Amino acid sequence: MEQYNASLPYDRLFYAQDIAGSIAFARANFNNDILTKDEFAAIEKGLNEVKQEWAENRFEVKPNDEDIHTANERRLSELVGKDIGGKLHTGRSRNEQIATDMRLWLREELKGIEKLLNLLVKTAMQRADAEIHVLMPGYTHLQKAQPVRWSHWLLSHATSFSFELERLREVIKRVNRSPLGCGALAGNPFKIDREAMAKELGFDGLLYNSMNAVADRDFVFETLQWGSSFMMKISRWAEDLIIYSSLEFGFVRLADAYSTGSSLMPQKKNADSLELLRGKAGRAFGQMAGLFCTIKGLPTTYNKDLQESVEPLIDHIKTVSDSIQIATGVLSTLTINPEKMLAALAPEMLATEFADYLVRKGVPFREGHHISGRVVALAEDQGVPMDKLSKEQLKGIDSRLGDDVVECLDYERAVELKDASGGTSKSAVKEQIKILKEVLGDA
């Protein structure tokens, strides 16, 4: 039971946060006259020694160290004596301690992830700007649809990641609220200054209901929701690149550092980095779903079930952080094959250009769409690409298809015509880059 109950094997990760919270709490109890000046000084000095032991991997865990809180308090009492060390916990509960520790740790981890995600978006923007001239097929239903710029594809995912960046910033705000000073569930009886403790620990504010504060794991669940959403996005991004790096496509080639060879077939180069990104999305989803099931039936305030929020959170943060760094590495080192992308364009992808051509001559779009469909059908019947149809054959379909209709068969022209905001023309792509810079705060 002691082993089953213990959390120190993983919550020891919060040693610095637990000590920071304990010092803030001791300072507040000094200001309340619970501790004398000398007692507080001893506790602060002792806790800093404990912190140093953890940092230098010298902390000796004892059999009764159930969690990081009891371990730190036990060691403090050994250093300063039980008479002083025993006063540290006055008016305080482990319920508020773990909630405080988790929020302090998670706040800094999410700020680190924010920087990593910022770099991923920036990497995509830099490639989009540098490779803006490259054309490729755009797909719907995994079927060739219309020509687009490679940059447009890059920015489609960068935009998606930027939405996650904005959501992450909102999550950080809600994580950064202090439960310290709420006791086990009913509050603190010694008129403790919760605002002062929150300010010392860098919190933006307080959680104002003590029963809610000690039992709330919304901040964990919301983090797992956010991480699952992001991993879903990175999984779709990875899926595209897996397809594009295949021999059949050959649009991109991954750097050797982010791919592996086959144990049997020496000619193969597997996109293992991307496949792992896609696979780890399932891990992230599972952690979110698992915590949801754990929390949904709990009665009010703290229950030991909430211990199950810690390990999934720790692993989730590592999974998401590692994944962003791998994705950035893949994107910054892959090489593209513009010739393969261009060769993959097909004249049939310009069918809509014929309809648009007719629209500019006053033909209703539905009628123009029907006529462009007849052009595609004729090319299929003749067994030739659409650009091999003669002017006479085109005029035979509809007399309004004049000699200048051949302009519709220019891929670059087709792409540049999509110049409304959000489009794939050079000007529209550059506008997207500018907007993303503003989101990142680099404008």
Task: Give the catalytic positions in this structure.
Answer: 141, 262
Q: How far apart are CA 211 and CA 301, in angstroms?
A: 5
Would you give the end-to-end CA distance of the chain in angstroms?
56
Q: Return the structure tokens found at 407.
A: 């302009």
- The DSSP annotation for 73-107 comes to HHHHHHHH-HHHHTTTTTT--HHHHHHHHHHHHHH
By 3-state DSSP, what share of the chain in percent is helix, strand and coil, each rounded to 5?
65, 5, 25
Q: Which residue has the tokens 């000095």?
A: 45
| Best CA proximity match to 312, nearest among 294, 334, 287, 341 | 287
CA angle 80, 84, 86 (to 5 degrees): 110
- Pull the structure tokens for residue 108: 């800094």
Residue 111, classified by CB atoms within 10 Å of its CB into exposed (0-12), middle (13-18) or buried (19+), is: middle
Long-range (24+ apart) CB contacts under 8 A made by 27-34 are: 27/196, 27/197, 27/200, 28/181, 28/192, 28/193, 28/196, 28/197, 29/87, 29/90, 29/91, 29/190, 29/192, 31/193, 31/196, 32/190, 32/191, 32/192, 32/193, 34/87, 34/90, 34/91, 34/190
Distance CA 294, CA 297 (A): 7
Distance, in Å, from the CA atom of 67 to the CA atom of 71, rounded to the nearest integer, reads: 6
Q: Is 234:323 a contact under the CB 8 Å cutoff?
A: yes
Rounded Cα gap, residues 331 and 115, in angstroms: 16
Calpha distance 400→395 (Å, rounded): 7
**Cβ count near 416 (within 10 Å):** 16
